[in-house]
Structure 1
């Protein structure tokens, strides 16, 4: 059985309640998670949107391959949010979140081969904003969970799911004795949710200015925040005496 990280109940705007749970992604739910990322993340996420990935079928196909292959990579940790039914059966998959266990050293996104102009441009921009490795190194953190995406189905937004995903990332750090997790957060709602749970802003990126440097337009503008959460329970490995 998949590990269930958290169960919670949320109230919709019409007053009805829904029971939800966050659990590890099982192989039987791979396609559900892929479709969430392709249908909504690729369409709505700030960088994908700015370069127009959703408008080019080749770019969308490349995004699908990247997401699908990452689900098979043991360095990645995917969790999903699904309806928590009273009969203990898993209901509809309504959200997905991904992090990668990353070590300081290799350049972010190194080795990814892309054909479409849109995906090449997006990864070029992500690499330009990803100072997380530098910041973690300055904090003497050599391994951490790096954000690889988070999406919630439109019909299940404003129910606190993003915050539960962030909490699960912190729980993963504690459970697996990882010193920190970090993310480049473009959504104001996600930024606020992270701040409530003691995530620290270590860098701010003005998207309008950044877009001008890279020849793209961020329609909504705003500020993207590089945020980290440090695990207070982390225990550093003991050095072996010679």
Structure 2
């Protein structure tokens, strides 16, 4: 489990010499695609630190229409609300790419946060980062066309999994982007014709990041810049 801990940026800040003393609070779990880790208005008993899985933060309307407002990979954890006072979720946390995570009771995490100032500092900085990314998503979804948003989304996904290959259907992409499947298919076909990606049977491969970056909206670089400015210095210093 120690190696899994280092796979998540936040948990890597916990003092290595003391890991064995509180490792029993964590449980390694397998997260499956479309699995819901929490729902709006509910208090999840657990906090999940992805070590290979990727989780979408999703808003769902009464009409059952959905749109993604944030993405969580190895740089963070869900539900974010569990590290605040109420512990009440503001949106759904839905697994988009299956994989592993370390799970802990949120009360136990609260105790660790009080014991380890560096972990608490990262949580506060991560909250700043995530809120800014959600705000960026609001502007992106309101003003940017689908193809640039799709390119941004695929770049963010490959960053999150540290791989240029992953399973992702057009249907699930449509739900995350707030678009109908045929329009997502058309946008993906355009990116494929440009040589940026290859899509076959629900599997996406990134062929040329430069092509994809040229097609993406400004929001990818904005969020990437926030990650490099707010979070990465805490683990590289």
Shared fold (TM-score, shorter chain, > 0.5):
no
Higher helix share: 2
| TM-score, normalised with respect to structure 1 | 0.37
